[in-house]
Structure 1
Amino acid sequence: MSSSKSASSLPPPPMDESDIESYPMHSLESTWIAIEPPPSARGTAEPEGTSFSDPHPPSFESAQYDIVLRRQRQRPRTGGGMKCTAVPSRFLNLPNTFEFSGWGTLSRLDLERDEISRGEEDVQRTRRAASLGQFTASAIAGNAVLGSVFYALPAVALVSGVYSPIALLAASCVMFLWRPIMEELASALPISGAPYTYLLNVSSKTLALIGAALLLLDFSATAVVSAATAMSYLDGEVVLPFSTVVGSILIILLFSLFFLSGVRDSAKMAFAIMMLHVVTMITLFVASAVAWQRRGNAQIRDNWEEGTKGLTAAVVARQIFNGVCIGVLGLTGFECVPSYVASIKPGKFPQVLRNLHYPAIILNSVAMLLILAHVPLGTVVGQGNILSTLAQTVAGKWLRIWVVVDAVIVLCGGVLTGILSACELFERLAQDRFLPQLFTRRMPATGAPFFSVVAFVAFSYVLYASSGANLGIMSKMFSLVWLTVMTLFPLSVLLLKFHRGRLSRSPRTPLALVLLTLAVAVTVIGGNIAIDPTTVGYAAAYFLALAGIFQLTMKKVRVLHGLLWAYDQYAVLSRHAWTRACGEKMAAAVRHLRRQPVCVLVKTDEINVLFHKLLYVSQNEETSCLKLVHFCDDEAGAPSEMEANWKILDEAFPEITVDLILVRAPFTPAHVAALAHRLRIPTTLMFVSCPGPAFAYSVAELGTRIICL
């Protein structure tokens, strides 16, 4: 007790001239007031209406509040300088610049008129990008959705037999669970690249990249399976001068060239293809109905007797369940619609889902019923081109040729769907610095992303070749990947409700419906695995390889750090010219990658809120340069504790240089875009808190990422 008293009675060591010069005097007074201890710490209560101005040196008890400024007094006035900590560097022979960063600076800026004009142009460009109406937007994914009838019906007939119409009807109605979920997500986050962008805004980058890997596999498998199925239909009718493998490769290449003509022209072409398919199916249905009325029910009665002979109730239930599990593949293409939602006019997304869903219900179930009414069950089960067989039976060769031509064309439209969706995903990944900026470049004449198309075609060829050009293997992988992608939507909305509940959106899906959809998705995935366990092996192999590559792109600085650490352990490596040059290149790459800045837009000066935002950047972004930005009017100014808390946080993260920027402008999408031009930071790397219901702008207009509630 006596030692404590003697310690408290000693005055603090005086500051010499060098200490005073090293500390910015203009902020000394305001900083001292910001950390002024409460009256209880001073030992006496202040009279009301007076201010504390004790001329005597502070006691030990009050001086403890000054500890946070101990090293900040030595910061250079103009910023810069290396942060020094007691933590030793893991590198023995490399400078501390690999572990620690410099001190941040405070700046106040006014946006220039030309910068604001460019920001307004960016906002208007974002609004004009939403140019697809409900029918053209439906056509892009519609060719994949409605074209899936050509490969879904034979697969369902193989496991369900005469119960196929029931299984297909039930499978098509499953989408009623997903539609409100997808509508809520699109309303809350109308951003292209979903569900990757959904997961990025409601969870971590690791989970988002898992979603990106699944999406890319799904889009590529959509293109490959559609092209290969189209060639198999064509090969069953005519003698081709080349193999179906070569034909599939040519189809992907041809429709890639079509896509390079421009997104709007591609949408128009997709709409024309879908209209051809609709007319073909209507013609087939009418011809089948007329033939059924003329021939009677003899064939469907024979098929029913043959298909139900000796079956127990358990076997029937199993057949229907298996048919439902496989029949959901007749809905492939729905997952592509959110990937280009930013190109759809506001309010049209629910109509697009409706336009795709109801025709899919009618097409899948009615087509299967008509097949059983005209084609023997043995032919149905063993036939791949069962729709062309139906056409031959009810109307003759002319309708068969028409159906085959329609199958080839509409399945090729599915290739176009995969290309468009993948290019949107590539662009988002490039904007988030997972991929090189080449993926954001567009052709001057058409605005098509040339490098993204080339990369997607190359990846699809690699995927097809690695499967041995086997359509069966690709179809198995496609089925499980598609089901897993569809599971991401209820998972995303569940995370949205928990982490971003304040975000304005309509409709709001009941939690019970979300959980039910998740349960149905898991059940259907389990059913497909039970039907063919090899499905897991094919899908897992491709997914793990692609997810591993994406994880490396996210942690490229850490990988380089590991290589540098290994290099640093052997001093002999620095003695040779070529090994020293290799180490210098790795070090330069680390410096370049870590100097790429990100921006955090803040409204409040609450230190706990600021800390969690900086912690997100530290854990998810490989950067040593962070801009903490607050938009303020001249009258209001910055929050009172913003500068003091910024200084504390700048010291709390020694590996990141935290700059505080006070922008004299209101917080609007145009000003955010203008700031992006000033700082040369894309808006996708500007992070914000979750906006509330009263926020006047859409998340899509801001273009920023939501990182906290």
Structure 2
Amino acid sequence: MAASWREKLHESIPKSRVPGQARKVFASHDTPGYGSMVSARPSLQDMEDIETSLNETNTSRTLLNELEATSISGNDILSSTFYVSGLVTLSAGKMAPVCLLLVAVVLWVFRGIYHESVTALPCNGGTYNILLDCTSKQVASVAAVFAVIAYITTGVVSALTAVAYLQTVIPDAIDLQTATILLLLFFCLLTNVGISESATFAKYVFVTHVATLVVLCVFGVLYMLANTELLMENLRSGYPEVDAAGVTISGSFWTALFYGFSSAMLGVSGFETSSQFVEEQAPGVFPKTLRNMWAGVIIFNPLLSLISFAALPVATICENKDTVLAGTAHVVGRWVHEKLHFPDHVEFGKMLSVWVSIDAFVVLAGAVLTSYVGINGLIRRMSLDRCLPQFFLKKNPYTHTDSFILVSFFVLCVSQVILLDSDVEALGGVYCYAFLSVMSIFAFGNILLKIKRPSLPREIKVPYSQSLLGLVAVVIALLGNILGKPELLTYFFVYFLIIGTLVLLMFKRVALLRLAYRILGGARGGGRTQPREGDPEQVALVGEAGDVEMQHDRTCLARLSRALKKVKDVPFVFFAKHDDLHMLNKAVLYIQANEQTSRLIIVHVASGDGEVDVAELGEHVKLLDLLYPKIKISLLVIEEERAFSPATVEWLSRQIGVPTNAMFISCPDENFATTVSSLRGMRIITSGI
């Protein structure tokens, strides 16, 4: 019996004559047929088996605890400590510590924004996931393009800075650009053979990194208190000249604050990392990771910048912007050596500098690995949602990894290294454009979440003023980077166009195939060479050629038609809790605007409570099927006593072969019987009733 209802659900009644469209002729690929109305009853045994399977999966999953989750995201955000001080000093001079402290305040604002948004929609994907459930797929994809560029530049900046710190240990043996490319290649090969970042590895790296920073801060504070001369001299220095849209202007307090704050936002890169793997974190861990990352930023970044001012002249900091902490550690270590009367052969200054450099290399290399892992998850999610070509989903037959994604990422990273000539300052500017765009879009998404999905349960609700403050602060920082480094917009838009074009082609492929079909179909009607009268040989030749050409045209048209059908013949599911024609129509309009499909299955789970008249619901679905002739709309009524549940969703996914990310619901409220996270990627596409 189960097979019969599935066959009926997928079969199509030909739309030979569409009511109200008698004079409109549709091509075969635009006439998917009429939908059907069927009912199905899951067996009690099937549902029990699925519930057992889901429970076993949930209990067997090893979720990340606070230290493990903080380590993965903390390695990313705290690795910026090694290069942000020098970059900020270039623009802010003596105001660098103040700018870094101001950025920490902005990050506190974003703690609440991320906490509210991600606990309302606790699925992996960060900005892309929030916008996917609050706006259209096109808007979410644009945000994802910014995130992809941010991942590319994170990997490149981390690799370059890691190699720069390694050069302080073995200066003559390493070429910066070559070593950076080799480091990127190493992690490309590593992830291609299936070795990804583990929580244990990340935990040891993070603990070692924090211990290194703590030791450097403790010794640095003692040094700063005992040696205030250079610090005071640096704090009395003037403000650096800045580039304002290509014009060099003299520095002032306000230029230092504005451009320094804009550059200092690079110091919070990686704050969004935790939202990318929230599904792998134990309950209650996510907000703790936000708190821990914020604590690391507000303590280490301003303090280490101030210590570097006590140890090095501003000019030296600017000259060695990529390895400021190694130089600071060397000066501080020599002072500790003198005060503690170490033997001369110990050279504690050099030892501390080498320690800091090796720690920088390891944690920055870990950030490169995080970029590979993060981009793999994001591109795979976008490919599953049909925002990117499906070949990205092909697995390596030997290692079962996503080699197309990983190798493409490596190629883009290498192109950026070569194009910007290994310039960390320029790469930092490109990264700021992408990262700040992602953060501003996230703040905007939080505002949309409040407006369009107000009934979604969430742990906290931040006021509109906090969301707006975060958005304004990030936009100001983005404006500062654009004014300070306008020439980098060219490089940024090159990568935006490369990735954005792929996404655009995916969204417009049906329109492009239709255009090709119409052009070829129109060309068939005219433009043929006519034979001269009275020339039988030419008549025969032209006739033969015409038949061949006609056959070729028919073959091309048939191929285009089959390609269109293949793209569109992917079913999507909308769960309708109520018989609301307005809501059903909104769902159809959303799917037509965002998905390239000609098949929609409206599913109603009838629990026997009698709240919904199934016959009337069927009439409404039939009406929608007539109103939208280019999409086949079917109704499936699932007779399940326990009503809608994750087990019902899983049963349906297995029965009709539709993944959960192709299933949609209207916005739930606090009375929703299950949690959004348990629905495993189902999309919210309309407001609740």
TM-score range relative to shorter protein: 0.7 to 0.9
For 1:89 and 1:218, locate their aligned partners in 2 and report how far apart those are by CA, in whole Å: 51
Aligned partner of 1:615 in structure 2 is 589
Aligned partner of 1:54 in structure 2 is none
Q: In the alignment, is the contact (CA less than 8 A) between 1:126 and 1:701 conserved in 2?
A: no
| 1:597 has 2:589 as partner | no
Aligned partner of 2:186 in structure 1 is 254
Alpha-carbon deviation of 1:122? Answer: 4.8
Aligned partner of 2:665 in structure 1 is 688
Aligned partner of 2:341 in structure 1 is none
**Structure 2 alignment gaps of length 5 or more:** 1-8, 243-248, 334-348, 529-545
Q: In the alignment, is the contact (CA less than 8 A) between 2:92 and 2:239 conserved in 1?
A: no
Taking a change above 3 Å as real, the CA distance of residues 291 and 468 of structure 1, as seen in their structure-2 partners, is closer
For 1:195-344, list aligned pairs within 5 A.
195-239=127-171, 241=173, 243-259=175-191, 266-293=198-225, 295-307=226-238, 315-344=252-281
Aligned partner of 1:641 in structure 2 is 616
Q: Deviations over 1:17-36 (max 9, x none)?
A: xxxxxxxxxxxxxxxxxxxx
Q: Which amino acid aligns with 1:152?
A: V
Aligned partner of 1:39 in structure 2 is none
1:672 corresponds to which of 649, 666, 680 = 649
For 2:489 and 2:499, locate their aligned partners in 1 and report how far apart those are by CA, in whole Å: 15
For 2:239 and 2:310, locate their aligned partners in 1 and report how far apart those are by CA, in whole Å: 15
Q: Deviations over 1:594-625 (max 9, x none)?
A: 11111111011121111111111111111111
Q: In the alignment, is the contact (CA less than 8 A) between 1:119 and 1:673 conserved in 2?
A: no
Aligned partner of 2:35 in structure 1 is 104
Aligned partner of 1:625 in structure 2 is 599
Q: Which amino acid aligns with 1:140?
A: I
For 2:466 and 2:385, locate their aligned partners in 1 and report how far apart those are by CA, in whole Å: 32
For 1:649-660, list aligned pairs within 5 A.
649-660=624-635
Alpha-carbon deviation of 1:195? Answer: 0.8
Of 145-154 and 232-241, more deviation after overlay is shown by 232-241
Aligned residues: 629
Alpha-carbon deviation of 1:284? Answer: 1.6
| 1:606 has 2:585 as partner | no
2:373 corresponds to which of 402, 420, 423 = 420
Alpha-carbon deviation of 1:579? Answer: 5.5
Q: Which amino acid aligns with 1:337?
A: S
For 1:233 and 1:409, locate their aligned partners in 2 and report how far apart those are by CA, in whole Å: 10
Q: In the alignment, is the contact (CA less than 8 A) between 1:476 and 1:538 conserved in 2?
A: no
For 1:310 and 1:157, locate their aligned partners in 2 and report how far apart those are by CA, in whole Å: 11
Taking a change above 3 Å as real, the CA distance of residues 507 and 140 of structure 1, as seen in their structure-2 partners, is same
For 1:233 and 1:690, locate their aligned partners in 2 and report how far apart those are by CA, in whole Å: 50
2:363 corresponds to which of 384, 400, 410 = 410
Aligned partner of 1:368 in structure 2 is 305
Aligned partner of 1:500 in structure 2 is 453
For 1:450 and 1:638, locate their aligned partners in 2 and report how far apart those are by CA, in whole Å: 50
Of 429-438 and 515-524, more deviation after overlay is shown by 429-438
Aligned partner of 2:636 in structure 1 is 661
Of 546-555 and 586-595, more deviation after overlay is shown by 546-555
Taking a change above 3 Å as real, the CA distance of residues 484 and 681 of structure 1, as seen in their structure-2 partners, is same
Of 181-190 and 548-557, more deviation after overlay is shown by 548-557
Aligned partner of 1:387 in structure 2 is 325
Alpha-carbon deviation of 1:422? Answer: 1.3
| 1:358 has 2:336 as partner | no
Matched position secondary structure for 1:641: helix
For 1:248 and 1:313, locate their aligned partners in 2 and report how far apart those are by CA, in whole Å: 35
Aligned partner of 1:489 in structure 2 is 442
Q: Which amino acid aligns with 1:622?
A: Q
Aligned partner of 2:97 in structure 1 is 165
For 1:687 and 1:181, locate their aligned partners in 2 and report how far apart those are by CA, in whole Å: 25
For 2:398 and 2:214, locate their aligned partners in 1 and report how far apart those are by CA, in whole Å: 38
Q: Deviations over 1:87-120 (max 9, x none)?
A: 58998xxx72233331111111122444763465
Aligned partner of 2:346 in structure 1 is none
Aligned partner of 1:521 in structure 2 is 474
Of 273-282 and 456-465, more deviation after overlay is shown by 456-465
Matched position secondary structure for 1:139: helix
| 1:706 has 2:680 as partner | no
1:557 corresponds to which of 510, 513, 517 = 510
Taking a change above 3 Å as real, the CA distance of residues 635 and 290 of structure 1, as seen in their structure-2 partners, is closer
For 2:521 and 2:127, locate their aligned partners in 1 and report how far apart those are by CA, in whole Å: 41
Q: Deviations over 1:553-576 (max 9, x none)?
A: 122212211111111111169826
Q: Which amino acid aligns with 2:685?
A: I
Aligned partner of 1:20 in structure 2 is none
Q: In the alignment, is the contact (CA less than 8 A) between 2:239 and 2:252 conserved in 1?
A: no
Alpha-carbon deviation of 1:232? Answer: 2.3
Alpha-carbon deviation of 1:627? Answer: 0.6
For 1:23-38, list aligned pairs within 5 A.
none
Q: Deviations over 1:432-477 (max 9, x none)?
A: 1234556557789998655543443344334444545554443221
Q: Which amino acid aligns with 1:673?
A: E
| 1:575 has 2:549 as partner | yes
Q: Which amino acid aligns with 2:107?
A: M
Aligned partner of 1:41 in structure 2 is none
| 1:82 has 2:60 as partner | no
Q: Which amino acid aligns with 2:262?
A: C
Matched position secondary structure for 1:111: coil
For 1:254 and 1:309, locate their aligned partners in 2 and report how far apart those are by CA, in whole Å: 39
Taking a change above 3 Å as real, the CA distance of residues 373 and 145 of structure 1, as seen in their structure-2 partners, is same
For 1:662 and 1:556, locate their aligned partners in 2 and report how far apart those are by CA, in whole Å: 33
For 2:633 and 2:582, locate their aligned partners in 1 and report how far apart those are by CA, in whole Å: 16
Taking a change above 3 Å as real, the CA distance of residues 149 and 322 of structure 1, as seen in their structure-2 partners, is same
Aligned partner of 1:25 in structure 2 is none
Of 582-591 and 408-417, more deviation after overlay is shown by 582-591
Alpha-carbon deviation of 1:334? Answer: 0.5
Alpha-carbon deviation of 1:363? Answer: 0.9
Taking a change above 3 Å as real, the CA distance of residues 128 and 598 of structure 1, as seen in their structure-2 partners, is farther
Larger Rg: 1
For 1:626 and 1:506, locate their aligned partners in 2 and report how far apart those are by CA, in whole Å: 34
Matched position secondary structure for 1:503: coil
Superposition TM-score, scaled by structure 2 size:
0.85
| 1:547 has 2:500 as partner | yes
Q: Which amino acid aligns with 1:161?
A: G
Taking a change above 3 Å as real, the CA distance of residues 488 and 303 of structure 1, as seen in their structure-2 partners, is same
Superposition TM-score, scaled by structure 1 size:
0.83
Q: In the alignment, is the contact (CA less than 8 A) between 1:259 and 1:266 conserved in 2?
A: no
Q: In the alignment, is the contact (CA less than 8 A) between 2:92 and 2:240 conserved in 1?
A: no
For 1:443 and 1:492, locate their aligned partners in 2 and report how far apart those are by CA, in whole Å: 36
For 1:449 and 1:135, locate their aligned partners in 2 and report how far apart those are by CA, in whole Å: 28
For 1:89 and 1:569, locate their aligned partners in 2 and report how far apart those are by CA, in whole Å: 19
Of 617-626 and 307-316, more deviation after overlay is shown by 307-316
